[in-house]
Structure 1
Amino acid sequence: MRGPGLPPLADEEIPESLAKVIEAWPYNLHRTLAHSPGTLLKWLPYGEHILKENALPFREREIAILRVGWNCRCAYEWGMHSLVARRGGFGDADFEALCVGADSPHWTNGEAAVVAAVDDMMRDWTISQDVWARLAAHYAPEQLVDLVWLSGNFMTIALQLNALRVPLEEGLPPLPDDAPLYTRATPFVTGS
């Protein structure tokens, strides 16, 4: 999937209006989005809110993000959030369980429901009644809304990262070789 894409802007190419943004966020993602200053400037506050002001606990947030990255074969998302998760206490068993899915005995019931919800959303574009019931047993309504928005946001980011072919940052953990490329279980239906 890697190859020619839209190159991240070098320091000398960054528009003056984005200098402070890139100073704070010097990553290839932000340098690539700097090709469209308006998009980057509008996306950052939204992304910050979805990620950092989310009602979900840190662990569940990172489980959802990493499962999206794994399902989408998004090496950048997986790598960046693997580092974040490790700094937050994730160990090898957590990453192994992310590659297995909701059936891994490693997860708590709530964590397994988060993984199942991400898989449902990516496969079926909804969450099954069974998974909703499992989620509702562990998380408040605000957390459920935030889980859906967080997952949807990171699905979009994975698409953008892969489509723009944003180069990986140096030293990122690799995406596991057996990560699937999720496809819809049912085709889009046009007409009736």
Structure 2
Amino acid sequence: MNYKVGIIYVSMILGIIGLFFSSGTLAQKKPSGPKPFPLPVKILMLDRIREREIKKEVSQFEKRTGIKVVMDLLGFEKLCTKSSIDLAAGTGEYDVIQIHHFDLPQFSRYLFDLSDWIKRDWEIVDVDDIHPVLRQSYMKCQEKWYGVPMDIDSMVLFYRPDILASYGYDVPNTWNQLVD
């Protein structure tokens, strides 16, 4: 089991970080060490443009590493349902699941603790390049490491002053005014 988890970790780091956050050097190196796990690594991710681009790179990753990857892309609601059922039932259908950082506390009891690998490979993963707030909220739960961020969720509140004015409201200047 530890060998498969190691392969999953390497796949996640090289496949996602190596392809998209490095200059390409890490992603181009042939892996040394034990032969890849004979079973495919199954990945469940959101069906968005970035993930579709990652999926296009899977064949190149497989050629470089010898690791077979099966990648399923689902819409948000289906991904949430499928990952929740898979994790809670313990089916183990997927080896890598993309979740939102705010779901980490809910799912952490089902996820593999990557702390030893993150600490060992700190420089390779370049963890110091990830903002401390992101490390804490996107990668860790109760001081254990569970994943690597792919992006940062940012929400923006937009409003139209003309619509607010048409209903007799002033533009809010504070959160309390917005709630009222």
TM-score by length of 1: 0.31
Structure number, greater radius of gyration: 2
Per residue, is there more strand in 1 or in 2? 2
Normalized against structure 2, the TM-score is what? Answer: 0.33
Q: Higher relative contact order at CA 8 Å, sep ≥6: structure 1 or structure 2?
A: 1
